[in-house]
Amino acid sequence: MNAQDLLNTVDVSKPLLGQVTELLRADTDWCRSTVDLLTSLSPAELTRLNRQDGETPGVDPRILTVAEREGVGLARVNLFSRERFLEFWRGGTLSPHYHRRSFATRILKGSYHHLLFDNAGSPDEPDLQLREQCVVRTGFGYALDWQDYHFVMFPADATVTLNIHLPPSAPTKSVLQPVPQERLVGLREEILESLGQESAVAP
C-alpha cells in the first residue's frame, strides 16, 4: 500500500482522521512504498499535485504533495533539515502553531522533539500551556485536530515523514506562489536521497 492507496481506502461516510491514523499504523513498508510512489511521478504530475501549495519562507520542513483524493485530502512528504531549523530558530521565525487541516503523520526516517499545548484562548489569539513533550522516532507518529497547537523542534537531519492532511477546516491566511517545477523535482531528489535511494524517476 502506498499513500494513494491509503487515500483510496478511506470510507468518506465515516470520520476521516481516525481512519487515516490507523491506516498509517499498518504493517506496511511505508519507506519503500513512498520511494516507489515518488519515483513514479513525472515532473508534470508533481506540478499538478502541488498546484495549491506554496513554500512559506522562514519555516522548516519543506513539503511535497504526492497524492490526493477529493473529499479525503492530501498525502504529503515532509523533509526536515537540522541546519534549516537552527537557522530559523535563531532568526525567530519558528513558534508553536496550528494547521488549518487535521492530519496524521508517521516518521519514515529520523526523529524530532514534539511539543503539544493546551490553548485557553482562540486559534488566532492563543493562551498556551505546555501539555506534553516527547521524541517521535522512526516508525511512530500521531494525529492532530486542526486547531491543536504544536511545535516540532530539533529534528535529526534529513528526517522524512509521511502525512495525510484532511480537507481544510479553516480558510488560508495567505496566498503563496506555487513552487516552480524544477524546485519540486529537486525536493523529490533530496527526499529520495534522504531515504537512501538513487534517483530513477519517471520522465
Question: What is the tens place of the pLDDT at every residue in 132-155?
Answer: 999 999 999 999 999 999 999 999
Band (160; pLDDT cuts 50, 70, 90): very high
Q: What is the DSSP pairing of strand 128-137 with strand 141-144?
A: unpaired
Q: How confident is the model at residue 118 (pLDDT cuts 50, 70, 90)?
A: very high
pLDDT digits (tens, 9 = 90+) for 54-85: 878 889 999 999 999 999 999 999 999 999 99
pLDDT of residue 203: 45
Q: What does the pLDDT look like over 24-45, one tens digit per residue?
A: 999 999 999 999 999 999 999 9
CB neighbours (10 Å) of residue 56?
A: 12
- The full length of the chain comes to 203
- Section 88-107 average pLDDT: 96
The pLDDT value given to residue 55: 78
pLDDT at 202: 44
Give yes or no for residue 2 having a pLDDT over 60: yes
- The number of C-alpha atoms within 13 Å of 103 and in the hemisphere containing its C-beta is 21
Average pLDDT over residues 99-118: 97
pTM of the model: 0.94
Query: What CA–CA distance (Å, rounded) separates 189 from 183?
Result: 10
